[in-house]
A and B are shown apart, each in its own frame.
Chain A
Amino acid sequence: MRKKIILILLAALMLASAVIVGWRGWHGHQAQKIAVIHLDGVIVGGRGQSGLFGESGGTDQLIRQLHQARDDDEVRAVVLRINSPGGSAPAAQEVGEELIKLRDSGKIVVTSMGDMAASGGYWLAACSDRIYANPTTLTGSIGVYIPYANWEELFKKVGIQQEKIKSGPHKDILSPDRPMTAEERQMVQQMVDDIYGQFIQVVAEGRSMTPERVRQLADGRVYTGSQAKELGLVDELGNLYDAIDGAAAMAGLEGKVEWKEYGRSTPWQMLTGGDAQSVLRQWLLGPLLPNNGALQGGAMALPARTAGELR
């Protein structure tokens, strides 16, 4: 009899616990939430570093998180936390388009700037409903450049004579082993101007300014958060939590706001994700490295032949 009573009590305890956990699960899924999505570092397109079970660093992952937030019925608003000096123009444009689609789906998008949200980082910020920055955040740097270096003299000194068989006169444009011709310089300038024009358009539409006004501000200079607010490039001064509260207010959420972070690394991902290899390398060879990441970028960085750098 005693055994029976104990077993019944245990069964009742389990049942009550299951009800509590189940209620919490169901209730948690009915709650309206703010999604927080982080953008850290240089904006680069693609998948970034791939690991055994994931990838990190490229904008593909960021776009996937934006898709998840869009499809998630619990999410009423998204706070994009930007900590970036900029990066590739196509990558910024691709993410910017996703932010606009997210807004078109009826969700609020608020940007919170961290240490820096310059150039490509500002391109993304301009695609949101409201921008929060700290007074000392570095932002602005609205502009485009395509890097180019002429190493012809260096090649001569070390005895390298590069030869090319090319299909057209401009196929090796921006090549570092020869000077750029006047015609090529004009072509590259036109590309820069075209991308710059698109950037201006995005900022003008996002900030409700005339393109002429944006061009006045967009000479490439960097602004502090408080300067940017005065100029209308930023809406509010505040930190991430202010941005979350602002997003909640704009989405009509009342009381204590629940928010969930997308892209947060789980312990499992930390062990198996794209960063694991670099962590292992750093751990094994840390003391031997003259500075962090010296082995990660390769011995020599050749000028990138990209459509445009927003940094």
Chain B
Amino acid sequence: MNGDGELLYDLLVAPRRALRRIAQNESLVQALLVAAGGCLLVLLLLSESGWMGGEQAAWNGGLLVGGCALGLVGWLLSTAVWHLTAELLGGTGRASALLAATGYAHLPLYFLLPLAAAAILRPQGAVIALALLGVVGVVAWKCWLDLLAVSVTYRLSCAKALLVLLMPWLTLAATWLLIILTVGLQLVWEG
């Protein structure tokens, strides 16, 4: 079996070891392919399910390309933010290594495809519920891989890696809270 296939297999069964190898090799092209495929798949499934403004938006080439590009920009940005946060928290590692590792961390998204297929083939309550549960599992799996990617790239403990992942969200939440409080106070003052 070639190296890429083995790497993907290891990512499924021994993710820490696989991500360490990915971070060492910094194989960015393969990471880009995995991430782009994952983003495209999510967009296709979202547009099919009507989450992006109705079914008329489905299979719209421009929308898919644009959405995929946005997803990839999101991957780049989140990696950059995580890199900065990890450095701030005392980790040492290369941003390109993290970029490769988080790119490969999109792999669980491919498992949305069989879940969607199951829901299409048997659109009944129990199957839909299981598929939704599966979606939650896939998202959790991806988050777990992101956490491992940060942990192995910067040699941080899992707790610190979790803090790195959550820091942007905590900052956003704090900002939102501040905005809502400011707007609320202003409205109370005016009203």
Question: What residues make up the interface of A, taking CB atoms closer than 8 Å to B?
Answer: 3-4, 6-7, 13-14, 16-18, 20-21, 24-25, 28-29, 68, 72, 260-262, 264, 266-269, 280-281, 284-285, 288, 295
Question: Contact between A20 and B117 (Cβ–Cβ < 8 Å)?
Answer: yes
Question: Contact between A21 and B48 (Cβ–Cβ < 8 Å)?
Answer: yes
User: Known pairs A21-B113, A266-B53, A268-B51. 11 more at Cβ < 8 A?
Assistant: A3-B6, A18-B113, A21-B45, A29-B59, A68-B56, A262-B54, A266-B54, A267-B51, A268-B52, A281-B187, A285-B188
Residues of A within 8 A of B59 (CB): 25, 29
Task: Indicate which residue in B8, B110, B180 contacts A7 across the interface (CB closer than 8 Å).
Answer: B8
Chain B: number of interface residues, binned into ranges: 20 to 34
Chain B contacts with A in 47-71, Cβ cutoff 8 A: 48, 50-56, 58-59
Residues of A within 8 A of B55 (CB): 28, 260
Classify the interface of chain A: helix, strand, loop or mixed.
helix
Question: Contact between B191 and A288 (Cβ–Cβ < 8 Å)?
Answer: yes
A72 to B55, CA, bound (A): 11
Residues of B within 8 A of A21 (CB): 44-45, 48, 113, 116-117, 120
Question: Contact between A264 and B54 (Cβ–Cβ < 8 Å)?
Answer: yes
Residues of A within 8 A of B5 (CB): 3-4, 7
Task: Indicate which residue in A7, A28, A261, A281 contacts B1 across the interface (CB closer than 8 Å).
Answer: A7
Classify the interface of chain B: helix, strand, loop or mixed.
helix
Residues of B within 8 A of A3 (CB): 1, 5-6, 9
A262-B54, A284-B187, A285-B187 in contact; A4/B1 too (CB < 8 A)?
Answer: yes
A sample of 27 inter-chain contacts (CB < 8 A) reads: A3-B6, A3-B9, A4-B1, A6-B9, A7-B9, A13-B114, A14-B110, A14-B113, A17-B116, A18-B113, A20-B117, A21-B48, A21-B116, A21-B117, A24-B120, A25-B59, A72-B56, A260-B54, A260-B56, A261-B54, A262-B54, A264-B54, A266-B52, A266-B54, A268-B51, A268-B52, A288-B188
A14-B110, A284-B187 in contact; A25/B54 too (CB < 8 A)?
Answer: no
A295 to B191, CA, bound (A): 8
A14 to B111, CA, bound (A): 8
B137 at interface (Cβ–Cβ under 8 A)? Answer: no
A262 to B53, CA, bound (A): 9
A25-B59, A260-B55 in contact; A284/B44 too (CB < 8 A)?
Answer: no
Question: Contact between A284 and B183 (Cβ–Cβ < 8 Å)?
Answer: yes
A3-B1, A266-B53, A284-B184 in contact; A17/B113 too (CB < 8 A)?
Answer: yes
Residues of B within 8 A of A16 (CB): 117
A220 to B191, CA, bound (A): 39
Residues of A within 8 A of B183 (CB): 280, 284
B88 at interface (Cβ–Cβ under 8 A)? Answer: no
A117 to B184, CA, bound (A): 38
B121 at interface (Cβ–Cβ under 8 A)? Answer: yes
Interface centre among B44, B51, B114, B184 (most CB of A within 10 A): B114
Residues of B within 8 A of A267 (CB): 51
Residues of B within 8 A of A6 (CB): 9
Q: Which 9 A-B pairs have the closest CB atoms?
A: A17-B117, A20-B117, A17-B113, A17-B114, A284-B184, A3-B9, A24-B120, A4-B1, A21-B116
